[in-house]
Amino acid sequence: MLFLQLTHRGAFASLQADGRMFETKFRAVGRGLRGASALAVAVGLVACASITVDSPPEAKQKVVAERAQARWELLIKGDVDGAYQYLSVGSKAATPPGLYKAKIKPGMWRGAKVDKVDCEAEVCKVQMLITYDFRAPRGGVMKGIETPVPETWIIENGTVGYVYR
């Protein structure tokens, strides 16, 4: 266990270094996309603006399901930075982006679908069904394993954020 934690920390350090490198590359490549990205953010805000604690359950469930699905699509693509944007305000405050990147390891996930969403007041419980592949360190490859993954989302500031602990 300890060595795993140390490995985590080592990965964290190297990720931070890599992150700076990649950030530069993204800036150079990303200028052409900036307009499209800004538009997407604006649309997102409009779509979520109507979601409040008092919204109908169906509306909450729909938005939460969409955002939960979208977050996982990003993770499956390996876009941890993108997935980080879906975190709740409190989660972002407790977990800076670098630490989040060190804790999340993309690569094994192959598919995601929303199984169910239940909302009560500002809290929504989501059950995702995640499909993943795994290569055993000293054995074979296990493909297409599907397992339930529970999530908590919170309605805040007109949108919903993923609660990461």
Partner 1 sequence: MNSFQRKSLYAALAGVGALGVTATANAVAINPNGLGQVLIYPYYTVNADAAGNAYNSLLSVVNTTSSAKAVKVRFLEGRNSREVLDFNLFLSKFDVWTAGIIPSSSGGALVKTGDKSCTIPESKTTLQLGVNFVNFAYVGDGGGDGLDRTKEGYVEMIEMAAYTSNNCTSIVVTHVGGVPGCQGAKHPLNDNSAQTDASSAFGGLFGGITLINVGSGTDYTEEAVALQRFNFAGSALYFNAGSVSPTLEFSGPKKSVVYEGFSNDCASGGTVFNSDGTIACQKNFSRIGDDSVYWATWEGPECRNSVTGAAVACLKADAVSAVLMHNQVMNEYVLDAATKSGTDWVITFPTKRFYVANGTGTPAKLFQKNFNKTAFSCDDVIINIFDREEQTVTTPQSFSPPQPGAAPTSLCYEANVLTFNNTNVLGSKNLQNLTTGFSNGWLDIHLSSGGRGSR
Q: Answer yes or no whether residue 31 interacts with partner 1 by CB under 8 A.
A: no
**93 near partner 1, rule: CB under 8 A:** no
Q: How far is the CB of 104 from partner 1 (least distance, A)?
A: 6
State which of residues 30, 57, 111, 150 lies at the interface with partner 1 (CB under 8 A): 150
Instruction: Print the binding letters for residues 101-140 with partner 1: x by CB under 8 A, - otherwise.
Output: -xxxxxxxx--------------------x-x-x-xxxxx
Task: List strands edge to edge, sheet with 109-120.
Answer: 109-120, 123-135, 141-156, 159-162
Cross-strand bridge partners of residue 109: 132
Residues engaged in binding partner 1 (CB under 8 A): 1-6, 8-9, 12, 75, 95, 99, 102-109, 130, 132, 134, 136-145, 147-152, 164-165
